[in-house]
């Protein structure tokens, strides 16, 4: 919760949003307003072209434990890739195209063909015993969930590597999509290209760990 708050506040500062005191007050109101029962997928936003802060309370969609990924590789259409919000409508159209190809998610790629992330999640993968992810210099959103996974890997003594890979180079790898809504979802199939999918040997234990990281909302 705190990490999402920090990312939102940082993004507001980058685009000339409300002053820090108003952001603090807004988050206090958000914390008080969030339901303590039920399954929800709330969204906080700074309205485009204004200083209006909003909380949208949305029921959580069904959660997935695996995901089918469109392997065609979509050229990154985002205008502000490091900030969540300005390109949501564009990314929704990418996902609709992926659905038309029999997939749930699409891979965004750089002009070089390097994998960046998916339309709604970070992309991680395993090369032998090394947890891999795109280099931070690439235009990727700072994923809270990916950050948690990296911290756990470091604390466990696992090797982490930033590597540039094309979609084809993920063939036969255990690939994960990670975000706050679904947690860790191993890629269980690829649409649009013959790609081998190995058993997701690590995902179950890591999913259980991430689930155990959940904590109640702060009192205020």
CA distance 140 to 179: 13
**SS3 string of the chain?**
CHHHHHHHHHHHHHCCCCCHHHHHHHHHHHHHHCCCCCCECCEEEECCCCCCEEEECCECCCCCCCEEEEEEEEECCCCCCCCCCCCHHHHHHHHHHHHHCCCCEEEEECCCCEEEEECCCEEEEEECCEEEECCCCCCCCCCHHHHHHHHHHHHCCCEEEECCCECHHHCCCEEEEEECCCEEEEEEEEECCCCCCCCCCCHHHHHHHHHHCCCCCCCC
Cβ-Cβ contacts under 8 Å for 205 (sequence gap 6 or more): none
- Backbone φ and ψ for 149, nearest 5 degrees, come out as -65, -45
Q: How confident is the model at residue 119 (pLDDT cuts 50, 70, 90)?
A: very high
CA distance 135 to 179: 18
Res 220: pLDDT: 63
Average the pLDDT over 33-61 and give the result. 94
CA distance 219 to 32: 7
Tokens found for residue 128:
């032998």
Tokens found for residue 106:
């699409």
Percentage above 70 pLDDT, the chain: 100
Average the pLDDT over 65-90 and give the result. 93
Average the pLDDT over 108-132 and give the result. 97
Closest CA to 218 of 18, 34, 46, 58: 34
Res 71: pLDDT: 86
Percentage above 90 pLDDT, the chain: 91
CA 28 remoteness from chain centre = 25
**Domains in the chain, please, with CATH?**
2-56 (no CATH), 67-211 (3.20.10.10)
Res 179: pLDDT: 98
Residue 132: is its pLDDT beyond 80? yes
Bridge partners, 40 (sequence order): 59
Residue 22: is its pLDDT beyond 90? yes
Average the pLDDT over 15-34 and give the result. 94
- Backbone φ and ψ for 148, nearest 5 degrees, come out as -65, -40
The 10s digit of each residue's pLDDT in 149-201 is: 999 999 999 999 999 999 999 999 999 999 999 999 999 999 998 999 999 99
Closest CA to 118 of 169, 186, 56: 186
Res 48: pLDDT: 84
Average the pLDDT over 102-126 and give the result. 97
């Amino acid at each position: 919760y705190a990490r999402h708050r920090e990312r939102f506040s940082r993004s507001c500062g980058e685009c000339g949003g409300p002053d820090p005191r108003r952001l603090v007050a807004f988050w206090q109101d958000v914390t008080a307003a969030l339901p303590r029962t039920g399954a929800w997928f709330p969204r906080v936003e700074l309205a485009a072209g204004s200083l209006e802060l909003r909380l949208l309370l949305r029921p959580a969609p069904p959660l997935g434990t695996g995901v089918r990924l469109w392997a065609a590789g979509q050229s990154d259409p985002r205008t502000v890739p490091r900030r969540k919000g300005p390109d949501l409508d564009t990314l929704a159209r990418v996902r609709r195209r992926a659905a038309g190809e029999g997939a749930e998610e699409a891979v965004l790629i750089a002009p070089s063909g390097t994998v960046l992330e998916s339309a709604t999640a970070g992309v991680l993968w395993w090369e032998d015993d090394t947890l891999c992810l795109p280099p931070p210099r690439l235009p990727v959103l700072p994923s809270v969930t990916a950050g948690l996974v990296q911290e756990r890997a470091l604390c466990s003594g696992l090797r982490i590597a930033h590597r540039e890979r094309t979609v084809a180079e993920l063939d036969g790898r255990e690939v994960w999509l990670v975000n706050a809504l679904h947690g860790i979802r191993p890629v269980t199939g690829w649409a649009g290209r013959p790609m081998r999918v190995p058993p997701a040997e690590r995902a179950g234990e890591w999913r259980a760990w991430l689930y155990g990281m959940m904590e109640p909302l702060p009192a205020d």
